[in-house]
Amino acid sequence: MPEGHSVHRLAKQFTSVFSGQRLAVSSPQGRFAAGAEQLDGATLLSALAHGKQMFLRFDNDRVLRVHLGLYGAWSFGGDATFRGASSIGAPRRVGESEAPSESGPPVYAGPPAPVGAVRVRLVSDHGWADLRGPTACEVITTAEEKLARAKLGPDPLQPRSDGSAFVAKIMASITPVGIQLMNQAVIAGIGNIYRAEVLFLQGINPRRPGKLLREDEARAIWSETVRLMKDGVREGRIITTTPEARNGRPKRSAPNYVYKRTGEPCRRCGTAILSDDMAARTVYWCPSCQAD
């Protein structure tokens, strides 16, 4: 499942290729036909990511709310001007035809015929985006967007995000921090990789009850998460290790400290990494660096 950093990259992509543009919206698969009808011909005002959800706001008081879940994905394509701020689903120049003569660039011939179960297709004069397999895809009003976002905890990647709200919430509950970090009402956007890596970097055992965190520890979890997720937006993938911890190896061969490293030696102390189920996903930790 994409963690918050990739949803933020997607929102940037939508903003840079579609905002201010009138969009043709359809549901080639048919399952979203009624929703698409409400958006067809409207102009996209902005795209906002909050945690793992994206809100595409249109000029007719309608908002497309999308949660990709485990299997959802966007794909993009378009002409030479259709370039995103991020590289997510970087336009593959699909849909271009050969130029009729040898002079001049290729001509954009519009989107190709949809392939597979395309729930939503957005088309501008310059490009298109196809959504497949989302967990949630619905048209709501701006008032409903407010309600949906009020249920979510603060998002570490949003500009004036409220870390104090996170600190108060996580410290108020006896629930283990490893479970609370996966609760989108406590903090929005963290997934399984960030949960494991942030707790390792802060030396906190995932089983520690929230009530047993000191305030400075809770604040440090927040600021570490902000730092790592901003790196994720910039890099386009989750890299938490330092060059020293990678010991000369490339980022891709040693991207994380504990995530998916059960039984392997801790990069700091050599102790074998442990794992267990927590909040329906496997959590990983070093029993020595994260003793309690």
Among 36, 49, 123, 286, binds Zn ion (CB under 5 A): 286
Cα separation, 82 vs 73, whole angstroms: 19
Quote the tokens at residue 121.
């297709």
- Using CB under 5 A as the binding rule, whether residue 289 contacts Zn ion is answered as yes
Cα separation, 19 vs 44, whole angstroms: 5
Backbone phi and psi for residue 229, each to the nearest 5 degrees, phi listed first:
-70, -35
Helix (H) or strand (E) holding 73: strand 73-78
Determine whether 52 is an active site residue: yes
Determine whether 111 is an active site residue: no
Determine whether 3 is an active site residue: yes
Quote the tokens at residue 218.
């809770």
Residue nearest to Zn ion (CB): 266
Cα separation, 128 vs 114, whole angstroms: 11
Determine whether 249 is an active site residue: no
* Amino acid in the structure at residue 222: W
Give 283 or 286: the residue with its C-beta nearer to Zn ion: 286
- Using CB under 5 A as the binding rule, whether residue 196 contacts Zn ion is answered as no
Which one of 9, 52, 62, 65 is the catalytic residue?
52
Closest approach of Cβ 92 to Zn ion, in Å? Answer: 42
Helix (H) or strand (E) holding 179: helix 177-180
- Using CB under 5 A as the binding rule, whether residue 139 contacts Zn ion is answered as no
List the beta bridge partners of residue 54. 49, 66
Give 128 or 259: the residue with its C-beta nearer to Zn ion: 259
Which x/- pattern, by CB under 5 A, does the window 251-270 give for Zn ion? ---------------x-xx-
| Contacts to Zn ion by CB under 5 A | 266, 268-269, 271, 286, 288-289
Active-site residue set: 2-3, 52, 281
